[in-house]
Structure 1
Amino acid sequence: MGQQASAPRKGAKFRVIGAGMPRTGTTSFSRALEILLDGPVYHGGTQITIGPERGVKTWLELFSQWPAKDEATEQRNLELIRSQTDGFVAMTDNPCVVLVPELMKLYPDALVICTERDIDSWEKSMDAVTNHATMSFLRFVLFPLPTMRYFVQFIDINRPVWSHLYDETVPPTRKTYNRHIEWLKEIVPPERLVFVNVKDGWEPLCKALDLPVPKDVPFPNINDSKAIDELTKRQVRRGLARWAVIFAIGGVSVTLAVRKWVR
């Protein structure tokens, strides 16, 4: 998860659909794409937590009517997706992973790149992230914070989506991981689908994109687990501090009202 949200850039050409599951190095991958493609990348995990609030609200609207039951709804969903991806050179992480068919329709020239990871470590990592995301008190604590107040709702609405695609919800296991790979091979033409591991550095990614390896630029190595831990703690502290102010103001207001009534 990135430390700051990306802003769209007018005229940027969308070139990569990041189809790798969360916790497969998507943050490092996103940063690598920003360097190679010289433009902003929409990393879902970052944008739905610290990006503009209209972003997460857009995804909530889309998934409330997904999968589309008719052509009109499908067109509306495509419009919603385009409203978030326009101005970016790529999209990665959730919700990108489940919107690959829609993104291929919107961007027929985009390459679908799936980041991979050792399945045992992925399963453990997803379990840890799920524990953070589903803590019941988060819904209350995060409510005063713009964007973050919708985070738990976003996680909740994604459960039926993952169940529909993978017949599994939370916490996801290797069954989900393997089914996702199978699904991509079913829906993406072989010439458009590439698998990479961020541990392999620049070469496989640059080869897929037909771009030269950046000189004297190390491949990004961003610790997603540490970033998620830090973000969770920071946002919980912000939420508690905001509630403290709310309660303090409320207490003062009640006190003043009582004094006025007593007089």
Structure 2
Amino acid sequence: MGQQASTPQPGKQLQVIGAGLSRTGTASFSAALAHPLDGPVYHGGTQTTLGDPIEIKSWIQIIKLWCSALPEEKETKSALAMMKERLDGYVAVTDAPGAQFTPELLSLYPDAIVICTVRDPIAWDKSMGQTAGLATMWFLSFVLLPLPGMRHFTTYIKALTAQWLRVYGKDWPSIELYHQHIAWLKKVVPEDRLVFFDVKDGWEPLCRALRKDVPDIPFPRVNDSAAIERVAQYHVRRGLLQWAVAIGAVAIGAGCVFWVGRV
């Protein structure tokens, strides 16, 4: 999160499923993948918070359909069709909610490789706790209401919570859940298709897994914590500004009515 939303390129095919949990370096990973794969990467956090409103609204619908159905039911098939449409034109998908849809994405893209970004579980738990707290602040639904896409943010967070409950049986980050996610991936992804990668290791292991040449540029380093905070501040400022404009317009209108009534 924290970068600009990516734009799909017609003809590009999904080659990598990023199965790492949020806050495991997914922003750096996404920025890096774009170079050896030569195409746009769909980073879930960035696309849903900085992309067109259809991004966040589509994923809410996809998750709701998926959570309400059994694997062979038409609702699940509809969710998969919507997912494929949303990812058309991208070379990779990373971050939530894609990471929790790894089996479904493998069914859609059988030739893709699954790469799970990892980090120290204790540091991850602390980082996720901070992010979860930020995403559930009580005033968000009110502040974000004037913004076309972000007015759905609290609904989106609830959808992600439901998705976690179905996948892990838990709805809050913990060290136990981190290890559970790794074990789950090893169960649902064939061993020869699953790669674990720490962004601290840079280009070499990543390009080896991708069977691509190492780019002649520094490996991208995106500070996830700072980026998330910037995005949050950006949307809160936008929401407050819209409320100020609306309240100001109402005040002016009321003042005009008052003075007209006195004339």
- SS where residue 37 of structure 1 aligns? coil
**8 Å Cα contact 2:28/2:221 also seen in 1:** yes
Q: How does 1:83-232 map to 2 (within 5 A)?
A: 83-170=85-172, 172-215=173-216, 217-232=217-232
What do the CA deviations read for 1:19-39 (whole angstroms, capped 9, x no partner)?
000000000000010011110
| Unaligned stretches of 5+ residues in structure 2 | none
The 2-side partners of 1:2 and 1:190 are apart by 32
The 2-side partners of 1:168 and 1:76 are apart by 25
1:262 positional shift: 4.3
Letter in 2 for 1:57: K
Question: Aligned-pair RMSD on alpha carbons?
Answer: 1.2
1:3 positional shift: 2.3
The 2-side partners of 1:261 and 1:59 are apart by 50
The 2-side partners of 1:134 and 1:207 are apart by 39
- SS where residue 147 of structure 2 aligns? coil
What do the CA deviations read for 1:159-180 (whole angstroms, capped 9, x no partner)?
121112112113x101111111
**8 Å Cα contact 2:18/2:93 also seen in 1:** yes
The 1-side partners of 2:43 and 2:2 are apart by 8
What do the CA deviations read for 1:59-111 (whole angstroms, capped 9, x no partner)?
11111122333431121011110121000000000111111111111111000
The 2-side partners of 1:29 and 1:3 are apart by 12
Letter in 2 for 1:38: D
Provide the residue aligned with 1:234 in structure 2: 234
1:156 positional shift: 1.3
The 1-side partners of 2:181 and 2:25 are apart by 16
The 2-side partners of 1:113 and 1:100 are apart by 10
**8 Å Cα contact 2:140/2:154 also seen in 1:** yes
| TM-score (norm. length: structure 1) | 0.96
- SS where residue 38 of structure 1 aligns? coil
**8 Å Cα contact 2:2/2:230 also seen in 1:** no
Percent of aligned pairs with the same residue?
Answer: 48
Provide the residue aligned with 1:20 in structure 2: 20
The 2-side partners of 1:125 and 1:97 are apart by 18
The 1-side partners of 2:34 and 2:232 are apart by 25
Q: Between Structure 1 and Structure 2, how many residues are aligned?
A: 261
1:257 positional shift: 2.5
1:142 positional shift: 1.0
Provide the residue aligned with 2:80 in structure 1: 78
